């Protein structure tokens, strides 16, 4: 018998690393193996402090801009994508670079290029200042895209040529919120062209659906992820939208024990840039104060994998 209070954990699946994050981290690791340390990385490779610190320990040096990279040093671009000017500047300096942009983000970039080439003005649904948004805007000439952050922006928009619009979205948005914004835009601009397929990536959609599936059976939900990770923040919002208290933490050590008072069933998930190690770390910590039982709730099985850049294939 134990005198610890009982706590049931409903652990959402899928959770944690997606194929794009796996690929980006592997690119940095293989670049270090190939070139030796240091390998420079422009921006956080993915939005997770644990991952970034782990790569620093292996020899990665993270910088904000290319001018911080010394001549002759190898550099990796983050999974969020970069404006076209960044690889152009790298080439002009003779820098050897590897592009770790998630292939699903690259697909949005190519769609943006095609739409602009066809004479369409793009309404891009996303969050101002997010690296993915900056990278996508940097694929096309200035003025050919307009950022739409929410329903209010969609209602207020007054385009100069309303019959010649298309929309694209950031890959890590809330599925429900985005559907609402798209609905407003389609009502106002029925001729607007939709993207080929869904821009919100499979991992973002799957993790949101998994949290939604467990939320109703939980007294509260904990999401492991970084505050600057768009997809992690969206998971908190999904749980709250289902009427459940939710909190985002980066590591188990950040847990506010008061959040768990009166909780019998706790939902747990992790954003697409948070490793499974951090989920296990949280379960271990909870077990020090509670008699924990775990149940994984899987809503779908992910089998996506992305190829590495050709330059690293031999190193893999």
Question: How are beta strands 39-42 and 97-99 bridged, if at all?
Answer: unpaired
Helix axes 202-215, 230-241, angle to 10 degrees: 30
Q: Can you tell me the distance from the alpha carbon of 91 to that of 76, in angstroms, rounded to the nearest whole number? A: 13
- The annotation status of 85 as a binding-site residue, yes or no, is no
**Distant-in-sequence, close-in-space partners of 236: CB < 8 Å, separation ≥ 6:** 221, 223, 246, 247, 248
- The annotation status of 218 as a binding-site residue, yes or no, is no
- The annotation status of 230 as a binding-site residue, yes or no, is yes
- The annotation status of 106 as a binding-site residue, yes or no, is no
- The annotation status of 54 as a binding-site residue, yes or no, is no
Q: Scanning the structure block, which residue is given the tokens 């969020």?
A: 80
- The annotation status of 43 as a binding-site residue, yes or no, is no
Q: Which of 81, 93, 34 lies closest to 58 in space, CA to CA?
A: 34
Number of helices (H) and strands (E), helices first, in the chain? 11, 12
Q: 237 - beta bridge partners? A: none
Q: Can you tell me the distance from the alpha carbon of 310 to that of 98, in angstroms, rounded to the nearest whole number? A: 10
Q: Which two tokens stand for residue 210?
A: 């998994």
Q: Can you tell me the distance from the alpha carbon of 316 to that of 9, in angstroms, rounded to the nearest whole number? A: 37
3-state secondary structure of 79: coil
Give all strands of the β-sheet with 291-298 in edge-to-edge order.
245-249, 220-224, 265-270, 6-13, 291-298
State which H helix or E strand residue 167 sits in: strand 165-169
In the set 8, 29, 44, 132, the catalytic residue is 132
Q: Can you tell me the distance from the alpha carbon of 228 to that of 43, in angstroms, rounded to the nearest whole number? A: 12
The dihedral region occupied by 86, where left means phi > 0, alpha psi between -120 and 50, and beta the remainder, is alpha
- The annotation status of 171 as a binding-site residue, yes or no, is yes
Q: Is 33 a catalytic residue?
A: no
Q: Which of 245, 189, 254 lies closest to 226 in space, CA to CA?
A: 254
- Binding site as annotated, residues: 18, 47, 80, 102, 130, 171, 201, 229-231, 273
**Catalytically annotated residues:** 132
- Binding site as annotated, residues for isopentenyl diphosphate: 47, 80, 130, 229-231, 273
């Amino acid at each position: 018998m134990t005198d610890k209070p009982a706590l049931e954990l409903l652990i959402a699946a899928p959770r944690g690393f997606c194929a794009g994050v796996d690929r980006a981290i592997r690119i940095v690791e293989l670049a270090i193996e190939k070139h030796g340390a240091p390998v420079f990385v422009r921006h956080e490779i993915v939005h997770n402090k644990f991952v970034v610190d782990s790569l620093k320990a292996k020899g990665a040096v993270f910088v904000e801009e290319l001018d911080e990279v010394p001549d002759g040093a190898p550099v990796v671009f983050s999974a969020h994508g970069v404006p076209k000017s960044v690889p152009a500047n790298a080439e002009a300096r003779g820098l050897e670079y590897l592009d770790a942009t998630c292939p699903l983000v690259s697909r949005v970039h190519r769609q943006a290029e095609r739409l602009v080439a066809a004479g369409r003005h793009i309404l891009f649904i996303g969050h101002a200042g997010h690296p993915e948004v900056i990278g996508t805007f940097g694929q096309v000439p200035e003025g050919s895209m307009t950022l739409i952050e929410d329903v209010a922006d969609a209602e207020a928009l007054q385009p100069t040529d309303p019959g010649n619009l298309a929309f694209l979205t950031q890959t890590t948005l809330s599925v429900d919120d985005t559907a609402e914004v798209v609905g407003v835009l389609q009502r106002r601009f029925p001729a607007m062209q939709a993207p080929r397929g869904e821009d919100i990536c499979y991992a973002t959609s799957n993790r949101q659906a998994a949290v939604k599936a467990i939320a109703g059976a939980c007294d509260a939900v904990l999401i492991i992820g970084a505050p600057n990770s768009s997809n992690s923040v969206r998971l908190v919002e999904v749980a709250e939208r289902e009427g459940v208290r939710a909190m985002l933490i980066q590591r188990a050590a950040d847990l506010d024990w008061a959040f768990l008072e009166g909780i019998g069933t706790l939902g747990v998930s992790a954003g697409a840039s948070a490793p499974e190690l951090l989920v296990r770390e949280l379960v271990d910590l909870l077990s020090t104060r509670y008699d924990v039982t775990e149940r994984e709730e899987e809503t779908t099985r992910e089998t996506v994998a992305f190829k590495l850049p050709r330059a690293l294939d031999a190193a893999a």
